[in-house]
Each structure stands twice: as C-alpha cells, then as structure tokens.
Amino acid sequence: MYRKHGILGSLWRHAVLLVFVVFALFPILWVISASFNPANTLVGQGLIPPNPSLDNYREVFTSEQYPIALWIKNSVVIGLITSTLVVIMTSFAAYAFSRFRFKGRRTGLFASLLIQVFPQMLAAVSIYLLVLSIGRLIPALGLNTHAGLIMVYLGGAMGVNAWLMKGYLDTIPTSLEESAMIDGASPFQAFYMIILPLARPILAVVFMLQFIGTYSELILASVLISSTEKYTLAVGLQLFIQDQYASRWGVFAAASVLGALPIVLLFLFLQKHLVTGLTSGAVKG
C-alpha cells in the first residue's frame, strides 16, 4: 500500500500533518502562555507573555473566595477513593462470574451488560431525590457530601468494569488456581494470591479509566454538591470562569494547567495499557 514517495509527496504529507499539529497544540500552548501572563485577561493576549510571572499560580493556591487548589485536591481524593473501591468490588464480582457456576450467573452477566446501556447520569433527577432521602436518614451520605457522591459513582461504575474485567480473567488459565487448591488453598486465597497478581494490567486499566472518568464527571457532581469548599474541579472551574473571560482568564489558565496535569501525566505514563482498554470499547468521558 505504501510506496516510497518523491519530494513533493512527502512535502504535502508533512504540510498536512503540521496543520493538524498546530490545531492540536495551539489551544494548549495558548493556555500555558496565558497562565504565565500577569495581565489575567483574554484582552489582547499574545502567544508569548510580555512579563512572565507566577502570579496566576499563586492566586490558585491563595484565593479565599475561589479555593481552586482545594477543588483540585477534592477531585483527586474523590477519584482515588472511588477508583480504589471500584477496583476492589469489580474484581470480586468479575472473579465470581469468571470462575464459579451458580444459579443466576447468566442473568447477572446479562444484567450487567444491559445496565451499561443506561448511563447513570441520565437518572440524575432520581439520584438527586434518592440521595436527598438517604441524607435524611444518614446525613453523612446525603446531599452535599463527598461520601454521598462517591457512593453514587460506585453504583455507576459496576456494569462496564465488571464486564471488562471478567473478559480478562477468562483468559487466565484455571490450572494455576487448581494446583493451588490441591495444595489446600481456599478459593479466596487462590483469588487473592494467584488471580489478582496476574490480573494487574486490567486492574490498572480499570483504575485509570475510572479515575479519569470520575475526575471529569460534571453532571452528578454539580447536582449533588452545592457548597464552594466541597466542589470538584469540574464543578468549580466552570462556575469560576463563567462569563468572566475578560477578568479571570489568567488564573483560569493556571488552574487548567494544574488541573489537567494529573490526568495528562497518568495518561502519558500508562498510554500503552490505556490503548488496550480503549480498543476494547471504553470511551473517555
């Protein structure tokens, strides 16, 4: 399919690719530049800031009215806790589906497949009302609590991830556990000491996809969380910049750079694993 091309042939290819490189990079560079521009406004911004400074970053960490650094921390903490719990719970469920034969197994598999069809955020209204009534009984899990938000995320994460993980566990041969069980290991020990270590790549993929998804989730977080100091970055940042591009652009840019950093690093670091997960059907939020 591919032949060696002449000068003209490679010239247009590089020209086209460069156009897309500019398209891909421009917004990112533009924001990085703005984050170092002390003018803090969209008005008359150039690509190279005239008197670069760290003022905007300082503002991110010190502003009392808009505690952006705290929002980033909230997002990271909620993301870490949710992803950890999701990995634990789905690996249990996936192990059962993959290794045991029991009544209702097919129904369960079918249900977890069907439930993926309904994105949880669609039921935001019901979830809001549900959390409202849970909060009346158990205030710690009610509206405007991180624990309540995490609880909601846990529910939404089960279907997709259990399915993804079960597929992977099916590819691990059962002979390893069988020999362990002959040596007297219980099924739980076999799961814990043999399966989990072997399943590390898929655990990493599920963890990351879940972290990225939780970190970027907007609709449920904005419905459930209502006080400034509890916002996640996704909720807080859009309220911060809303119609304030002329007066908050620089601080927003610094917040964007800091807020995107955890995800970009995670992404670049684990790109290989991610690509495997992506081609098997996960779509990033």
Partner 1 sequence: MAKLVKGVFLGILNVVFIWTALFLYSSEAYLVLVLLLLGAALVNFVFISERAYPYRYLLPAAFFMILLVVYPIVYTVYVSVTNYGTGNILTKEQVITQLQERRILDAEAGNYTYQAYRDGEGQLWFVFTGPQGELLLGHAGELTPVQEGDARLARLAEFTELARADLVRATNEISALSFALDEARQLQMRNINYFGVYRPQYQYSRERDELLDLESGIIYQPVLGYFQAPDGTRLTPGFREIIGFHNFSKLLTNPQVTGPFIRVFIWTVQWALLSVATTFSVGLFLAILLNDPHLRLRRFYRSVLILPYAVPAFISALIWRGLFHTELGVINRVLQATIGSGVPWLQDPVWAKVALVILNLWLGFPYMMIVCLGALQSIDVEMYEAALVDGASSWQQFRHITLPLLMVSVGPLLISSFSFNFNNFSVIYLLTRGRPPIVGAQTPAGHTDILISYTYRLAFESGRGVDYGLASAVTLVIFLITGAITFFNFRFTGALEEVRKNV
98, 202 contact by CB (below 8 A)? no
Site for partner 1 in 103-142 (CB under 8 A): 105-106, 108-110, 112-113, 115-130, 137-138
One residue of 70, 72, 203, 223 binding partner 1 per CB under 8 A = 223
Q: For residues 179 and 232, is the Cβ–Cβ distance under 8 A?
A: no
| 194 part of the interface to partner 1, by CB under 8 A | no
Interacting residues with partner 1 between 35 and 94 (CB under 8 A): 41-43, 45, 89-90, 92-93
**8 part of the interface to partner 1, by CB under 8 A:** no
Whole-number minimum distance, CB 53 to partner 1, in Å? 20
Q: Is 24 in the site for partner 1 (CB under 8 A)?
A: yes
CB atoms within 10 A of CB 196: 16
Q: Are 39 and 254 in contact (CB under 8 A)?
A: no
- Does 182 help bind partner 1 (rule: CB under 8 A)? no
Evaluated on CA atoms 100, 194, 206, 135, the torsion sign reads positive
d(CA 266, CA 216): 14
Report if residue 152 touches partner 1, rule: CB under 8 A.
yes
Q: Which one of 51-59, 63-71, 200-208, 242-250 is the stretch in contact with partner 1 (CB under 8 A)?
A: 242-250
Taking the complex as a whole, the smallest distance from the CB of residue 279 to partner 1 amounts, in Å, to 5
Report how far residue 55's alpha carbon sits from residue 63's, in angstroms, rounded to the nearest whole number: 11
In single-letter form, the type of residue at position 22 comes to V
